[in-house]
Structure 1
Amino acid sequence: MDVRHAAPAAALAVLALVAACTTTTTGRGAAAAGAAPPGLEAFYDQDLSWGPCAPFAVTADDTDAYADPALDCSRVTVPLDYAQPGGETATIGVLRKRATGDRIGSLLINPGGPGASGMSYAPSIAGQIVGTPLAERFDLIGFDPRGVGASEPAIDCETDAERDQERADIDADASPEGVALLEADSQEFVARCVERVGVDVLANVGTRDVVRDLDVVRAALGDDELTFLGYSYGTFIGAKYAQAFPRNVRALVLDGAVDPAQSAVESAVAQNAGFQLAFDAFAADCTTQPGCALGTDPARAVDAFKALVLPLYDAPAAVPDGRTLGYADAMTGVIQALYSEQLWEPLRLGLSELAVGQGRVLMLLADLYESRAEDGTYDDSLEAFPVISCLDEERLTDPAVFLEIDTRAREVAPFRDDGRGPTAARPPCAFWPVPPTTEPALPSVAGLPPVLVVSVTGDPATPYEAGVRLADQIGGVLLSVEGNQHTVALSGVPCVDDVVTRYLVDLAVPDDGTSCTI
């Protein structure tokens, strides 16, 4: 499940670079909305101790954001393995910004990934909604899914030095030797995860268990029903929660939909096609501006782009911090920028730099995607990404399937084709030591309140059509948004934010066919 959601604050930070009290909450929601599952009563009825957020920070950005005295944090205890509720436990980190007015309940937010921290993301959303009915009526809650961010135990498979090394170009191709090299790298990652995280944790961090945790969190917060906003992979969490706990749903906003019924092959092809559309839109804009490194003809932009990035295999570009920008990091930086038009200007500048042998801006964009801080440290989000995905996706082990994926991806996204030929190399999930735990398909859900699905026409990571299908599958209402970016709710687009706010506060469902423009 190759989806991510970049926080607007982080994206704008790259744009700028270029240019003690404790309280207690008693859980009571489970009894009102339906009894706790047998054996889980103690988890559903637990009391939460709230205090300063500083001890929960896992990055320098967290440290700065969590200093806000208006925020408080806590931990929710859950079973590590729900089949053995009397056994080992895990904790889910939660961050809260209290409602300023007549409180309806809690609004829980997941920013995507899988692997992204809801605790880290929530302060930026809190800043975005200051003075709005959402801030007045809801406690804003950011939570870190199990294994992610401040939740414990953490998914931490690699050291910072190992991450840097992995980002260096691997001189692999479609030859048997190249395939063997790539697969060896995949197997090494799996071995590190088994050694450093443990099979017992790896077996229980999929969305199946995140959904169960989410219901425990809801109850521990004292909410009878769940009000939830999920971006990107967060839509998968929301949809699976609706399937598991339909009676406990108050309102769900699912923005940037993952299609649960789509096969891994079709999902990968659709996403690559989406990024090609985003690249084409960027190129159409860039080629109208003076000095665009892609030239003046958008029809020749792919060829011009390849002329810039393919030489990086043999001659990486200089970066001021002493690193060098290879082909892999350059492509990562480009992909990061294609998530949002806000990053088109840095991408244009980065390609212009590359034309003269410099890789500063593209490396900044790649570092944003990879969650690498200025001091060289990484958070664990991209380590959690494959670990969680391996439990959520169908287990594919046939090299022919991966050859088909790569072949078709190159056909629909020629800007990503490096000319070395499609490879049948299998990724880490093909070697994963435990089976999948989440069924991708989403059966129809009876008795569910209306769900609001938001889909952007030019979303590269979760294509628009996936939102159309999810709304149909879940019996939801679709808000179509014309634009070029990955997800949009509460990002400052008045038309969208008004619809989302009225839905969350008043449960006002928009008319069929309602649309907005970014």
Structure 2
Amino acid sequence: MTRLRRALAAGAVVAAASMVLSGCIAAMIPTSGPTTDPRDPDTSGVSEELLPFYSQELSWTECGVGFDCTTVTAPLDWENPDDGDIEIAITRHRAQKGSQGSLLINPGGPGASGKSFVLNSMSYAVGSDLIANYDIIGFDPRGVGDSTAVQCFDADEMDAYLYDVPEAERGSPEWEAELGEANERFAEACDNNSDGILPFITTINSARDMDLLRGVLGDEELNYLGYSYGTFLGATYAELYPDRAGRLVLDGAVDPATSGLEVGTTQALGFESALRAYMEDCLTDRECPFSGTVDDAMNDLGALLASVDRVPLSVGDGRMLGADSLMTAIIAALYAEDNWPYLTDALTGALQGQAASAIFLADFYNSRSASGYDDNSTEAFRAYNCMDYPVEDDPAAEEAARKKITEGAPTIAPYWEGPDPCEVWPYPPTGSRGAIAASGAGPILVIGTTNDPATPYDWSVAMAEQLEEGRLITRVGEGHTGYNKGNRCVDKAVEAFFIDGTVPDDDLYCD
């Protein structure tokens, strides 16, 4: 069975590429000195078997200018809490004014590091008013980063998995077999190297971990800002713990009722739309390597992709830039409008037979640097998706999706499918897809951007409609997610909600 192309890391971390690419990273200067937290854990309503987890005392150590870090012990299996433990890594930036409590941040993925997101780019994650009024908490969900993590390939093996150009012709049975064997090797390595945690890397378990974080941090309710996949995590929390849901904002929503096949189809159309928006803008710039109409430019880009698919470009370090890696570079740049100049550089270079700018974007997307891979986002992403999404085996639905992508996203379509990597995952999925109402959780704000390629606007509309008290905030514009992107209408509504509890009377449209 085939489905969406690599499924996509739909996270605000990728959307922050413009900050990282331009070098705007907050300083991180480790210091030493453990401290204890004077706030008492909140253990109200906690069962006796979970009380040792919720009553644990945290020991904090300074880990950057204005930040401290710690780890929280959580059950490996929430259904059987005596069956082993895992560690959840968190960082905290204390409120600059009187604290209204903790505000947990998740940047998406699944598989993105919330700890690194807050440590390295807190002012991108949240606005100054929230930094002043809340203890900002970044955390690595189970399986991710500095928490007990999924581990699969070493750097050389990961290079081969992500960048090697298949020998067989695209779309042929031999090509399917070649990619299928690579997926099998990856899944086997994940199982062998992850110390038995793979069956428990699920969004439901991660949502339970968030309630544990709420409790040990001493908050009676969870205040939460989730981007992209983090919206699904936040909605899941509200469904599990409606009486403990405080002020939740879900930005760039994932529709909980959408199947994996539908996700892939909708994202393909979304990235094609974003690519056309980029082309329309590019054609107004004399540096643009394309000319004519948007359709002309898209056809020329399709020809470039086909050319690189036939004859990959040398990167210079032993790797080759094939069509799949070039498509990864394109996708990485489309997450934020500020990154479009980087895409122009990459496509100009590729047209001239030079791979450097394109491989830079692909490496950023894959978290690859000169020293190797900076995180385990690819591994964690696979682990969560393979456990969260039910197995799909409907040839008619597959064919309908393929036709829709071919007609609606003709430039992207040839590079959007392949063997489903979850077919060979060592554990069957335990998740389900369905509407989330979060009955009793109170008002929840949902933000959707009208031309968001990774989490299309319709998904935010759907989530806001599903939630019992969902309020939709529409940001008119390009790129992934909407808060803290310079739209004062969006920012004012979000910050008034978090700081004063002000809920928009109706759905809000921010032009």
Q: Normalising to structure 1: TM-score of the pair? A: 0.90
Distance 1:387 1:303 in 2: 36
Unaligned runs of 5+ in 2: 1-6, 25-31
Q: Does 1:501 align with 2:511?
A: no
- Match for residue 290 of structure 2? 294
- Match for residue 59 of structure 1? none
Q: Does 1:442 align with 2:452?
A: no
Give 1:396-475 correspondences, 5 Å limit: 396-397=392-393, 402=398, 404-418=400-414, 425-474=418-467, 475=469
1:299-350 superposed Cα distances (whole Å, 9 cap, x missing partner): 2122110122211123222435564322111110001111111111111121
Distance 1:306 1:95 in 2: 44
- Match for residue 35 of structure 1? 45
Give 1:237-386 correspondences, 5 Å limit: 237-319=233-315, 321=317, 323-386=319-382
- Match for residue 177 of structure 2? 180
Distance 1:241 1:29 in 2: 19
Question: Comparing 314-323 with 94-103, which one deviates more in the overlay?
Answer: 314-323
Counterpart AA for 2:333? A
Q: Does 1:510 align with 2:504?
A: yes
Tell whether the 8 Å contact from 1:101 to 1:137 is kept in structure 2 after alignment.
yes
Distance 2:9 2:462 in 1: 17
Q: What is the CA RMSD across the aligned residues, in angstroms?
A: 2.2
Structure 1 residue 488 displacement after superposition: 2.2
Counterpart AA for 2:427? V
- Match for residue 4 of structure 1? 10
1:315 and 1:16, CA in 2 relative to 1: closer, same or farther beyond 3 A?
farther
Distance 1:221 1:310 in 2: 53
Tell whether the 8 Å contact from 1:397 to 1:426 is kept in structure 2 after alignment.
no
- Match for residue 28 of structure 2? none
Q: Does 1:114 align with 2:107?
A: no
Distance 1:52 1:147 in 2: 23
1:80 and 1:353, CA in 2 relative to 1: closer, same or farther beyond 3 A?
same
Counterpart AA for 2:259? S
Q: 1:48 aligns with which of 25, 46, 58?
A: 58
- Match for residue 57 of structure 1? none
Tell whether the 8 Å contact from 1:80 to 1:90 is kept in structure 2 after alignment.
yes
Counterpart AA for 2:494? V
1:99-130 superposed Cα distances (whole Å, 9 cap, x missing partner): 11111100000000000000010134533489
Tell whether the 8 Å contact from 1:243 to 1:442 is kept in structure 2 after alignment.
no
Structure 1 residue 404 displacement after superposition: 4.9
Identity of aligned residues (%): 38
1:147-179 superposed Cα distances (whole Å, 9 cap, x missing partner): 101001x11111110111121222343222222
Distance 1:322 1:197 in 2: 29
Runs of 4+ in 1 over 6 A off after TM superposition: none
Distance 1:131 1:293 in 2: 37
1:428 and 1:129, CA in 2 relative to 1: closer, same or farther beyond 3 A?
closer
Counterpart AA for 2:392? L
1:378 and 1:126, CA in 2 relative to 1: closer, same or farther beyond 3 A?
closer
- Match for residue 170 of structure 1? 166
Q: 1:156 aligns with which of 151, 159, 162?
A: 151
Question: Comparing 491-500 with 247-256, which one deviates more in the overlay?
Answer: 491-500
1:445 and 1:408, CA in 2 relative to 1: closer, same or farther beyond 3 A?
same
- Match for residue 481 of structure 2? 487
Question: Comparing 266-275 with 392-401, which one deviates more in the overlay?
Answer: 392-401
Q: 1:204 aligns with which of 200, 206, 209?
A: 200
Query: Equivalent residue of 2:331, what SS?
Result: helix
Distance 1:294 1:37 in 2: 63
Query: Equivalent residue of 1:222, what SS?
Result: coil
Query: Equivalent residue of 1:258, what SS?
Result: coil
Structure 1 residue 435 displacement after superposition: 2.2
1:346-367 superposed Cα distances (whole Å, 9 cap, x missing partner): 1112111111111111111101
Distance 1:407 1:384 in 2: 30
Query: Equivalent residue of 2:472, what SS?
Result: strand
Distance 2:128 2:9 in 1: 29
Distance 1:403 1:182 in 2: 20
Query: Equivalent residue of 1:462, what SS?
Result: coil
1:2 and 1:381, CA in 2 relative to 1: closer, same or farther beyond 3 A?
same
Unaligned runs of 5+ in 1: 54-67
- Match for residue 4 of structure 2? none
1:128 and 1:314, CA in 2 relative to 1: closer, same or farther beyond 3 A?
closer
Q: Does 1:69 align with 2:65?
A: yes
Distance 2:230 2:194 in 1: 24
Distance 1:399 1:188 in 2: 26
| Number of matched pairs | 494
Query: Equivalent residue of 1:273, what SS?
Result: helix
Counterpart AA for 1:442? A
Counterpart AA for 1:226? L
Tell whether the 8 Å contact from 2:103 to 2:134 is kept in structure 1 after alignment.
yes
